């Protein structure tokens, strides 16, 4: 079954709604330039509101020292860190106390073989923007990700919403999908109905795959 992460959560109410609807993980953004940025104090309140078995993922961009990142993640009880900057394979390998999801922005020159160098828990594929490290609300050319599953657990992101996620899952069969702006009414404010429809679309895609034997 395709896992679902609702990213850019900024309040406990949205976190609880996401969990109630069946989300496997919620994302908390610690990049100061993001409109979905949360303070450590707010993040801890959101994490405390989560039920058991829902994973908390912290989103970071070029944080600096990996040991300091581990210390920060442990201090607020994050289960995983999602790295959206220019982190190298060596940087990622120095993080061992929490799981690492490395994000890659897919531009026209992207090749899946690039993923081979990273030994991480998950690989997130997002749309490329010269001005932003993620959260653009745009999709990328999905065929460019063909074969990415050979290099690890793929998390598909970038412009996903209730209307296109079923096709994305059917085409790429990712380990997980990641949505933020596609289920929002405003940056950082999630919409219950959109989250419901997103989850329903993922379940339909999974059901179709089971029937077809893909």
Catalytic residue numbers read 7, 126
User: CA dist 77 to 4, 54, 56, 80, 178, Å?
Assistant: 20, 12, 8, 9, 21
Distance CA 37, CA 187 (A): 10
Please count the other Cβ atoms lying within 10 Å of the Cβ belonging to residue 24.
16
Please count the other Cβ atoms lying within 10 Å of the Cβ belonging to residue 193.
10
Q: What angle do CA 82, 88, 91 make, to 5 degrees?
A: 75
Please name the residue ranges forming H helices in 64-172: 66-75, 89-93, 165-172
């Amino acid at each position: 079954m395709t896992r679902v992460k609702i990213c850019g959560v900024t309040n406990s109410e949205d976190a609880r709604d996401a969990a109630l609807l069946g989300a496997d993980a919620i994302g908390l953004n610690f990049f100061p330039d993001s409109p979905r940025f949360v303070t450590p104090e707010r993040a801890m309140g959101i994490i405390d509101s989560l039920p058991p078995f829902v994973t908390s993922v912290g989103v970071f961009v070029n944080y600096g020292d990996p040991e300091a990142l581990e210390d920060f993640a442990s201090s607020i009880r994050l289960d995983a860190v999602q790295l959206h900057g220019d982190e190298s394979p060596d940087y990622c390998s120095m993080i061992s106390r929490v799981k690492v999801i490395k994000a890659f922005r897919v531009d026209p020159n992207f090749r899946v073989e690039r993923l081979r160098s990273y030994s991480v828990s998950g690989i997130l594929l997002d749309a490329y923007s010269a001005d932003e490290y993620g959260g653009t609300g745009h999709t990328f050319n999905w065929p460019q990700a063909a074969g990415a599953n050979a290099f690890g657990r793929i998390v598909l992101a970038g412009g996903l919403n209730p209307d296109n996620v079923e096709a994305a899952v059917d085409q790429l069969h990712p380990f997980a999908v990641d949505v933020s702006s596609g289920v929002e009414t405003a940056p950082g404010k999630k919409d219950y109905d959109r989250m419901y429809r997103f989850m329903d679309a993922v379940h339909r895609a999974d059901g179709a795959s089971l029937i077809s034997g893909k």
